[in-house]
Amino acid sequence: MIKGIALLLLFQLIGESIVFVSGIPLPGPVVGLVLLFVAMQLCKVAGFGLFAEAEAAADGFLANLGLLFVPAGVGIVALWGELQSQAAILLAILVISAVLTLAITVWTFIIMQRLVGRR
C-alpha cells in the first residue's frame, strides 16, 4: 500500500514539476493523473504489472472518499448564517451554472455527432 501511495504521489510531483517548469495553465495533479493513465495503459499493453499497488492504494482512497466531505459539511454548518444571507445569489449561481453546463454538453454532443457522422 505504501508503494502504491508513493507511486501516486510521484506522478503528482511529476505533474506539478512539469506545470512549474513549463508554465502551462493546468493544475499539476491533473497533468500527473494524465501521465499516470498513459503509463498504466502502456504497462497494460506491454504486460507489466507495475501499477497493481497503485490501483490498490487508489481503491483504498476511493473506499474512504466520504471522509473527505466531512470538512465541507462542518464548514456549511459553521457558516450557516452567512449562507442564509446569500441564499438568493447562491441559488442563482447554481441554476445558471447548471443550465450553462447542460447547454455546453448538448452543444458538444451535437458537434461530435456531426463530425462522426461525416466519416
User: Which pLDDT tens digit goes with each residue over 35-46?
Assistant: 999 999 999 888
What is the number of other CB atoms lying within 10 angstroms of the CB of residue 10? 14
Query: What percentage of the chain exceeds 70 in pLDDT?
Result: 98
Residue 6 pLDDT > 80 = yes
Which region holds residue 27: left if phi is over 0, alpha if psi is between -120 and 50, else beta?
Answer: beta
End-to-end CA distance of the chain: 46
What average pLDDT does this structure show over 100-108? 97
Residue 16: pLDDT band (50, 70, 90) is: very high
Q: How confident is the model at residue 119 (pLDDT cuts 50, 70, 90)?
A: low
User: What is the average per-residue pLDDT within 41-63?
Assistant: 88
Q: What is the pTM of this model?
A: 0.58
